[in-house]
């Protein structure tokens, strides 16, 4: 089993997805946490079932091995090897799913503790109090990102990441911004490759700052 997560998100990605929504409005952060919990619980149940089915299949293959010979035995040995490899992959998958599920559960509880009124009412009262408000905040975010994109001369995708990065802890924000600036500086100061357009005309220049 690997000691690194092989899933795309991992714990950092899970926290990012929840907190960037919470950054827009706590209601959206809670909603995102619940969606991730639901998805990962389903994945955990499905993965556990598939793992049991695979173990049963492996047992059947191993029992058939004693009565086989020649090409049939070689085929069974190859099938057993593949099944064992798949079982190991499932172990890693389930480990990643459990880690992301636990992270989402902790985030859900944290948001609920910070916003007790948001979870104390009925479905109807919470919708009336928070759903509309959070949707307006979501619309405002879209406008701000578009304006930021035009003001900085960057794509809306890049502006969106910069906007969302404010959900990170202060120390992580500084590290993130330094990482961007260092990589941009390396690219902008590098010799121009004739196969690609020059980056030096990008708003901000080699010595400019793309982020505040």
Predicted pLDDT of residue 184: 87
Q: Which of 1, 51, 40, 48 is nearest to 17 (CA)?
A: 40
DSSP string, 157-208: HHHHHHHHGGGS-HHHHHHHHHHHHHHHHHHHHSPPPTTS--STTSTTTTTS
Does residue 196 register a pLDDT over 80? no
107 or 7, higher pLDDT: 107
Q: How confident is the model at residue 206 (pLDDT cuts 50, 70, 90)?
A: very low
Q: What average pLDDT does the segment 13-39 reach?
A: 96
pLDDT at 201 over 50: no
Greatest pairwise CA separation for the chain in angstroms: 74
Rounded mean pLDDT of 181-204?
A: 67
Sign of CA dihedral 174, 176, 181, 186: positive
Is it the case that residue 159 has pLDDT exceeding 90? yes
Residue 212 has pLDDT above 90, yes or no: no
What pLDDT is attached to residue 71? 84
Higher pLDDT, 167 or 193: 167
Asked whether the whole model's pTM tops 0.75, one would answer yes
Q: What is the arithmetic mean of pLDDT over 19-29? A: 96
For 77-97, write each residue's pLDDT tens digit.
998 999 988 888 888 888 999
Task: Note the Cα 172 to chain centre separation in Å.
Answer: 17
pLDDT tens digits for 141-151? Answer: 999 999 999 99
Work out the mean pLDDT of the chain and round it to a whole number.
87
- Residue 117: its pLDDT value, please? 86
């Amino acid at each position: 089993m690997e000691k690194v997560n092989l899933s795309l998100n991992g714990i950092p990605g899970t926290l990012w997805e929840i907190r960037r929504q919470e950054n827009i409005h706590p209601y959206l952060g809670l909603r995102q946490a619940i969606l991730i919990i639901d998805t990962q619980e389903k994945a955990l149940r499905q993965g556990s079932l598939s793992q049991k089915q695979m173990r049963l299949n492996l047992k059947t293959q191993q029992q058939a091995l004693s009565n086989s010979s020649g090409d049939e035995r070689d085929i069974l040995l190859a099938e057993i090897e593949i099944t064992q490899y798949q079982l190991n992959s499932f172990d890693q998958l389930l480990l990643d799913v459990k880690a992301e599920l636990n992270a989402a559960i902790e985030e859900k509880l944290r948001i609920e503790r910070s916003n007790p009124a948001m979870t104390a009412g009925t479905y109807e009262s919470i919708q009336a109090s928070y759903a509309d408000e959070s949707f307006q905040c979501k619309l405002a975010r879209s406008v701000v990102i578009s304006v930021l994109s035009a003001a900085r001369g960057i794509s809306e995708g890049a502006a969106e990441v910069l906007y969302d990065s404010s959900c990170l802890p202060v120390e992580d924000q500084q590290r993130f911004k330094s990482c961007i600036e260092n990589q941009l500086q390396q690219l902008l100061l590098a010799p121009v490759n004739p196969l690609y357009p020059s980056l030096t005309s990008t708003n901000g220049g080699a010595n400019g700052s793309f982020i505040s």
